[in-house]
Chains A and B, each alone.
Chain A
Amino acid sequence: MKARVTVTLKSGILDPQGKAIEGALRSLGLAGVSSVRQGKVFDIEIEGGDRAKAEALLKQAADKLLANTVIENYRVDVLG
């Protein structure tokens, strides 16, 4: 099964990299961008076909390693 874990910064956490990208988009002349926040995407292959089990496993992976929950939120999507 294919799955995706998306890690994003919590709101209120300063994101200097996002700010720099935002500035770069503006300097490219791409008008209309009001804010950029940078995050991470993990594409993960899971053994077996049990959806609930996969979700539980990925939640554990995110809590233990993929995200630092002090500053980051995550979302688990089992794509099937």
Chain B
Amino acid sequence: MKAAVLVFPGINRERDMARTLRLTTGRAPAMVWHAETALPAGTDLVVIPGGFSYGDYLRCGAIAARSPIMDAVRDYAGKGGLVLGVCNGFQILCESDLLPGVLMRNENLRFICRDVYLRVERSDTPFTRGYNAGQVIRVPVAHGEGNYIADGETIAHLEGEGRVLFRYSSPDGMIDPNWNHNGAINAIAGIVNERGNVFGMMPHPENHVEAAIGRTDGRGLFAGLVDTLGKAA
């Protein structure tokens, strides 16, 4: 796998992401600065990590979404290339129109930094094939703006087409407002685009991949990508 991790001013999770990619794919990713106009040749996975690009000025992800490298990412995604956005990366994908909807301020107005439970909605996508449908995983979140919303028509499309891949749930997989930490509509934690190659999620699977940290629930996502790209090669 030839992964590229995008780096914007104010991003702070790019090293966690690079470490995880090295551990799970056996190869260090290329770190690509936002002012670049092209992705490294042969890139088969683009990862937009978390953080606070441009200090969250204007709207979270708004300024990063207009940076030069994002035109290259749009071209790459248009050709079917895999894109993963985590946390601020998800916000950037929404602001780039690569994913629909928007991440609003958390319903309780607080920055939430804790482990959450996610129910895997389906296992037949490049991003979730390392899990079983219905499986519950535990991964951390750290965000102030993760409250996903879109217009009714968009939500109907997302739900009807099975494009919600993760939902906030209880430890036993029940969808319950008490476990929907940020108030996201339909407890949505991660969605994929219509073509199925661009995925964004608020939680951080890259932070639960080592037993020494305590949990390895995030490994499935990266294992699924390795498996997908291994088969494509």
A25 → chain B closest CB, angstroms: 16
B146 → chain A closest CB, angstroms: 12
Measured CA separation A16–B149 after assembly (Å):
13
Looking at chain A, what size class is its interface with the partner chain?
10 to 19
The yes or no answer to A14 lying at the interface (CB within 8 A) is yes
The yes or no answer to B104 lying at the interface (CB within 8 A) is yes
- Contact across chains for A70 and B58 when beta carbons are under 8 A apart: no
Per-residue contact bits, chain A 23-67, to B (CB 8 Å; 1 contact, 0 not)? 000000000000000000000000000000000000000001110
Q: Which residues of A contact B157 (CB under 8 A)?
A: none
Measured CA separation A56–B100 after assembly (Å):
26
- Contact across chains for B105 and A16 when beta carbons are under 8 A apart: yes
Per-residue contact bits, chain B 142-155, to A (CB 8 Å; 1 contact, 0 not)? 00000101110000
The yes or no answer to B159 lying at the interface (CB within 8 A) is no
Measured CA separation A71–B95 after assembly (Å):
11
The yes or no answer to A1 lying at the interface (CB within 8 A) is no
- Contact across chains for A14 and B104 when beta carbons are under 8 A apart: yes
- Contact across chains for A14 and B149 when beta carbons are under 8 A apart: yes
Say which residue of B58, B100, B106 sits within 8 Å of A65 (CB atoms): B58
- Contact across chains for B104 and A64 when beta carbons are under 8 A apart: no
Q: Considering the complex, which residues of chain A in the window 1-30 have a beta carbon less than 8 Å from any beta carbon of chain B?
A: 13-14, 16-17, 20
Measured CA separation A16–B66 after assembly (Å):
26
- Contact across chains for A13 and B149 when beta carbons are under 8 A apart: yes
Measured CA separation A14–B102 after assembly (Å):
12
The yes or no answer to B158 lying at the interface (CB within 8 A) is no
Measured CA separation A14–B185 after assembly (Å):
11
Among B59, B109, B147, residue most surrounded by chain A Cβ atoms (within 10 Å): B59
The chain B residues found within 8 Å of chain A, CB to CB, are: 58-59, 62-63, 66, 95, 100-102, 104-109, 147, 149-151, 183
Q: List 6 A-B contacts (CB under 8 A).
A: A13-B104, A13-B149, A17-B105, A70-B100, A70-B151, A71-B102
